[in-house]
Structure 1
Amino acid sequence: MKKLNIVLLSLVSLITFGIFTTQSVKADSLSDQPVMTLGTSLTDSQKQGTISALSSQISGSDSNYTTVTVTGDTLVKYLNPSGSSFTSSSGVWSSALIQKTSSGSGINVKIVDYNGTNNITTITADQYRNAAITAGISDANIYVTSATQIDGSGALAGIYAAYASTGNSLNQSQVNAAQNEMGVLSGITDANKGTDGYTDKQLNNAVAGMKSDIAQKGTNITVNQITTIVNNNLQRNDLQNIITDNQKQKIINLMVEIRDSGALKNSNFKKQASRLSSDITSKAKNLFNNLDTQENRNFIQKIWDSIVSFFQGLFN
C-alpha cells in the first residue's frame, strides 16, 4: 500500500509538472498573427480609415490579423495603476498594430499618417520604443496611428491588451514603469522645445544607454550607481547642461523604478536596450557625430595635436 501511494504521488507530480511546463509562456511573446487594436471612440468612417492605414504596413501572410477593441476600461486597467485618471467612459482614438518579428530584430515603431497627417501629438516613436522595452516587449514591429489629434497613450494601452489577448500578459509593475517613463520623457521633451542643442533622440538614446548599463550591473545595483550611470549617459549625449536637476532626479527615480519592477530579470532587456541605442545612433549619425561630447572633443583634440605637431616639425 505504501509503495502504491508513492507511485501514485510520483505520477501526480509528473502530471502536474507536465501541465505547468507545457502551459508556461514567455511574458513578452506574441502569437505569429499580428494584432490590431482599435479605439472604441472611432466612427465607422474613422475605423475604416484606421484599418486601412495600419493594414497597409503589412503584407502577405501577415495580412490576416486579429482585432482588439480598446475601451475606457482598457485605459483604466493598464494606465491608471501608474497614476493616470481615466474612467470607463474615457474616449479612445489612437490605435496600433503589433507584429511579431524574428528573435534579435528588436523593437521598431512607426507612427503612421492618417489621411496624410500625423495625429499623435505627444509621444514620439523612440518614446514608444523605450516604453515597450521597459514593459517587457521584445522583437516586434509596432505601427501607431490616430484619426484625430491625440497624445497616443491609448495606442500603448492597446499594445498591452494585445499581448493579454494572446494569453501573454505583461508584468504590471513593468507596465507601470513604462507609463511613468512615457510621462517623464514626453514632459522633458515638451519643456525643451526650441532649446538649442536638444532633441528627443538624444534623450531617448541616453535613456536606452542607461537601461543597458543598469542591466549590466544587475538587480543589486544601488541608487548611487544608478545616479552615476544617469550622469554618464546624459554627458555622452551632451545633455548635462540642458537637463535640469529636477528633470535628472525624475530620470533617476524612473531608473530605480525600472530596477524594482523586475525588468532586469529579463535576459532580453539589456539586448533590447543596447539595440535601441545603436539603432537611434545609426539613424541619426549626423546628429550624434556633431554632438559636443567628450568623445568627440577628444577626437578633435587628437586631430589638432597632429596638425600642431606637423607644423612644429616643419619649423624645427
Structure 2
Amino acid sequence: MIVKTNNKLRNLLLIVAILFTTIIGFAKSAAAAEETVINERWGKPTVVLGSALNNTQRAETLDKFGVNPDDVTIEVANGADLVKYLGYGSGDDNVMFSSVMVTRENEGKGVKVNILTPENITLITADQYKNPLITAGIADATITVASVVKVTGESALTGVYKAFEANGEKVSEKRAQLAQEELDTTQSVSDSIIKNAAQKNNDENLSKTDQEKADEAYRTQLNQTLVEIKQELASLKEKQGELATKADVEKIVGDALAKYNLTDFITQDDVNKLVSLAQKYQQTEGVLDKDSLAQLDKLGESFNKTVDKLTDELGSFGEKLKGTLNDNQGFFTNLWQSIKDFFSNIFN
C-alpha cells in the first residue's frame, strides 16, 4: 500500500515538473518573440551617435543602450545637422557627444523618453524633452538618451530628428527650431520658478531629497502648463475660426499658470517668454494640429501621474505645492485680468 502511494506521488510530481518546464519554455519563447518583433514602419530601432565620439566611445555607447551593432540601424549626427535642426551652432562635429536610440511605436503609444546616463546629461531632464519633441512633430516613439561624457543634452533632439528622417519621415525645420526655443525657454523659466519657490518656501526645512522632489514637481507643473496652453490655443482657434489675439494668448497663459499653481513663483519676464512662445505655437504650421494634440493628451496624463506621485511623497508640503485648482484658479485668473485691465485703462 505504501509502495503504491509513493508511486502515485512520484508520478504526480513528475507530471507537475513536466508541466512547469513546459510553461517556462512557452514563457521564454513568448518573451523572445516579443523582443524580436520588428516594427514594419521602420524595421530595427535606430541609434544616432554623436559625431565627436571615437571608436571606443561608440562601442561604449552601444553597450549603454544594451544593443549589438547588428540589432539596430546606426546613423551619425554631426555639426551640420545641429545647425539644420536647431538653428544655431558652428557646425563643428567635435561638439556632438550625446546619442539617442529611437524605437518607433504603434499609433497611440505617445512619446516616451528615458535618460540612461543622468549623471552625464547635466542640463535637461527626460520630461523636458517631451513637449519640444511633440512641437517638432515627433509622435509615438520611445527615445533613450545616453552620453559617455558629461554634456548639457540639447543636441539629443538633433539625433531624434536624424533618426526619423533616416527612416523616411520628414521633420519640419521650422518646427524643430521652435522646439529648441521651447526647450531653452522651459529650462530658463523652470530654473527661475525653482529659485523663487525656494525663497518663498525657505521656512519649510525640506530635506535634500524632498527639495529635489519639489524641484521636479515644479518642472513638471511647467510642462503641464505648456500642454494646457497648446490645447487651449487649439480649442480657441476651433471655436473662433482664427488665431488668438495677444490678449487671448496672455489670458490662456495666465490661466494655465494659475491652474498649475505657478503664479506665485513666476516673474513677469518669464510670463512674457511664455506668451511669446505661445504666439509662435499658433503661427507655426502643424504644432496645434489634430495629431499633435493626440500626443499631448498622452503627455498630459503622464505629467499628471508624475505630479500626483511627487506630491503624495511630499505629504503636507506636497498638498501646498500642488495647490487646489478650485481654490486657486479663479483667484489668480481674476487677479491676472485685473492687472491687464488696469494697464489697459492707463494706456488707452
**What is the deviation of 1:48?**
1.2
CA contact (8 A) 2:52 2:93 kept: no
Structure 1 stretches of at least 4 aligned residues deviating more than 6 Å after TM superposition: none
How far, CA to CA, are the matches of 1:163 and 1:292 in structure 2?
37
Pair 296,220 (structure 1): closer, same or farther in 2 beyond 3 Å: closer
**What is the count of residue pairs matched by the alignment?**
260
Look up the SS of the partner of 2:262 in the other structure: coil
Q: 8 Å contact 2:79–2:93 — kept in the other structure?
A: yes
Bigger proportion of residues as helix: 2
CA distance in 2, matches of 1:90, 1:192: 34
Q: Is the 8 A contact 2:230 2:288 kept in 1?
A: no
| CA distances 1:113-156 after superposition (whole Å, capped 9, x unpaired) | 2xxx5211111111110111100111110100111111112211
Among candidates 15, 39, 47, match of residue 58 of structure 2 = 47
> 92, 98, 107: which one pairs with 1:94?
98
**2:271 matched to which residue of 1?**
248
Report what 2:153 is aligned to. 152
Structure 2 CA distance for aligned equivalents of residues 169 and 286 of structure 1: 37
Report Cα offsets for 1:69-114 as digits up to 9, x if no partner. Answer: 011111121112xxx233234411000011111111110000112x
Partner of 1:97: helix, strand, or coil?
A: strand
Work out whether 1:103 is the aligned partner of 2:103: no
Separation in 2, partners of 1:37, 1:214: 34
Residue aligning to 2:76:
69
Equivalent position of 2:116 in the other structure: 112
- Asked if structure 1 preserves the Cα contact closer than 8 Å seen for 2:64 and 2:116, the reply is yes
Distance 2:310 2:270 in 1: 22
Q: In 1, Cα distance between the equivalents of 2:85 and 2:247?
A: 31
Q: Which position in structure 1 is the counterpart of 2:203?
A: none
Structure 1 position 265, deviation (Å):
5.4
Match of 2:331 in 1: none
- Provide the C-alpha distance between the structure 2 equivalents of 1:204 and 1:232, rounded to a whole number of angstroms: 14
Letter in 1 for 2:46: V
User: TM-score of the superposition, structure 2-length normalised?
Assistant: 0.69
TM (norm. structure 1) is 0.76
- Hey, what does 1:308 align to over in structure 2? none
Q: SS of the counterpart of 2:57?
A: helix
Shift in alpha-carbon separation, 1:86–1:282, aligned structure 2, 3 A? same
SS at match of 1:153: coil
Whether 1:202 and 2:221 are equivalent positions in the alignment is yes
Q: Which has the larger radius of gyration?
A: 2
Give the distance between the partners of 1:91 and 1:183, measured in 2 at CA: 18
Match of 1:238 in 2: 261
Give distance in 2, aligned partners of 1:48 and 1:191: 38
Q: Kindly state the Cα deviation for residue 296 of structure 1 after the two structures are TM-superposed.
A: 5.7
| Superposed displacement of residue 263, structure 1 | 2.4
**Partners of 1:30 and 1:154 in 2: CA distance:** 25
Which ranges of structure 2 fall in alignment gaps of 5 or more residues? 1-39, 199-213, 313-318, 329-348
- Which amino acid is the alignment partner of residue 145 of structure 1? A
Question: Contact between 1:134 and 1:175, CA under 8 Å: does it hold in 2?
Answer: yes
Partner of 2:92, secondary structure, is coil
The amino acid that maps onto 1:158 is G
The structure whose RCO (Cα within 8 Å, separation 6+) is larger is 1
Percent identical among aligned pairs is 27
* 1:183-231 alpha-carbon deviations (Å, 9 max, x no partner): 1011122334453365211111111121122222236232222221111
Q: Mark the CA change 1:244 to 1:138 in structure 2 (over 3 Å): closer, same or farther.
A: same
Gaps of 5+ in 1: 1-28, 299-316
Say if 2:230 is the partner of 1:211.
Answer: yes
- Compute the RMSD of aligned alpha carbons: 2.4
- Look up the equivalent residue of 1:149 and give its one-letter code: K
**Which residue number in structure 1 is paired with residue 188 of structure 2?**
187
